[in-house]
Structure 1
Amino acid sequence: MRDDMEREYVEYFQPRLPQLHRLAVMLCGDADRADDIVQATVTTLFARWRQVRQVDNLDAYVRRSVVNTFLSERRRFWFRVVLTETLPDRPAVTGQPADERLEIRAALRTLPPKQQAVLVLRFLCDLPVGDVAELVGCSPGTVKSQTSDGLAKLRRKLGVLAPVGGEA
């Protein structure tokens, strides 16, 4: 019986790991930290797989677990520890100038964790307000206010003018 559950676990997670890693990278902005977030999430879910596998919407549950792991990691003291002064070289991603992308990522990391998660889920993952509210564990109104406040902070940080008409 244990072998069947382990096989079921592996069959579920193996095709989803790249998607979970992509979500974690978008949340934290670092592929190595994303690996840690995904590993912590899947390890926790493995320990509770007997109960977790019976959830109605398992994909949404797992995504929310990744978001929760990211948010709880940001609360820990060790998150603030910087081990090196320079980042390793990374290959450039096409589509946006590297310096602009780095500026946006740096500005995004200055936001509170929940605001950061809301902006990433809304604009990088292109999720609707209701789905983001469910993933982050708050009301749709909170998602809207976190989005508005987060965008305003990013605009101030980046020196970008607000859109005409005050739209966020």
Structure 2
Amino acid sequence: MTDSFHDFVVHRSPALSRRAFLLTGDHQLAEDLLQSALAKTYRHWLRIRDGDPEAYVRRVMYHQQVSWWRRRRVAERLESEPTDQPGGDHSDATALRLTMSAALRRLSPRQRAVIVLRFYEDLTEAEAAEVLGCSVGTVKRHGHDAIRRLRAVAPDLVDRTEQRSLR
């Protein structure tokens, strides 16, 4: 059991870590989230290892993030600009990542989870609702509010999307 779980963690942690970061917007919180999800997964490894363990870990991360959000309910202190500036890479891709990261930090944890599930994981509204344990209407509401908020806080993302669609 331990060897197969170890192999899973070694091979899938980078991708799972990226998803955790998208959910939390913070590297340390992402590490905590992933570690917590992997600990819970380990307890059920014999049951889930032959299925889709990565999907199980992602679901645990989404539920754990929502649980932390419900317990915390602390207003986040948002910076208008990222405090650390990129060193020498001024490419469009880096600028887009920074803009998107800053914009995602401006969303609530629930809104961020819906955006990640719908657009990064490419789940349907019904699938996202199932993962989050809520109704489809709740997913629609959080998705709509998140997109409206993203348009308000990062209008240049909308401009970039429109420019790419015209090409």
**Aligned partners of 2:117, 2:37: CA distance in 1, in Å?**
18
Q: By how many angstroms is 1:60 displaced?
A: 2.3
Task: Indicate the structure with greater helix content.
Answer: 2
Structure 2 unaligned runs (5+)? 159-167
What is the CA deviation profile of residues 110-144 of structure 1, one whole-angstrom value per residue up to 9, with x for unaligned ones? 22211111012212333332332222222333222
Q: By how many angstroms is 1:62 displaced?
A: 1.5
Q: By how many angstroms is 1:23 displaced?
A: 0.9
**Aligned partners of 1:78, 1:88: CA distance in 2, in Å?**
29
Q: Give the alignment partner of residue 63 of structure 1, picking from 35, 58, 79.
A: 58
Q: Give the alignment partner of residue 140 of structure 2, picking from 144, 151, 156.
A: 144
Q: By how many angstroms is 1:76 displaced?
A: 4.6
**Aligned partners of 2:30, 2:90: CA distance in 1, in Å?**
17
Corresponding position of 1:107: 103
Q: By how many angstroms is 1:31 displaced?
A: 3.2
Aligned residue runs from structure 1 range 19-38, under 5 A: 19-38=15-34
**Aligned partners of 2:129, 2:50: CA distance in 1, in Å?**
18
Cα distance change of structure 1 residues 52 and 63 upon mapping to structure 2, 3 Å threshold: farther
Q: By how many angstroms is 1:101 displaced?
A: 3.7
What is the CA deviation profile of residues 9-35 of structure 1, one whole-angstrom value per residue up to 9, with x for unaligned ones? 223333221221121122223333322
Tell me the TM-score normalised to structure 2 length: 0.69
Corresponding position of 1:127: 123
Equivalent residues, number = 155
Aligned residue runs from structure 1 range 68-79, under 5 A: 68-77=63-72
Q: By how many angstroms is 1:38 displaced?
A: 0.8
SS in 1 for 2:11: coil
Q: By how many angstroms is 1:91 displaced?
A: 7.7
**Aligned partners of 1:93, 1:68: CA distance in 2, in Å?**
36
Among all aligned residue pairs of Structure 1 and Structure 2, give the percentage whose two residues are the same amino acid: 34
Contact 1:108–1:116 (Cα < 8 Å) also in 2: yes
Corresponding position of 2:93: 96
Cα distance change of structure 1 residues 81 and 116 upon mapping to structure 2, 3 Å threshold: closer
**Aligned partners of 2:69, 2:109: CA distance in 1, in Å?**
7
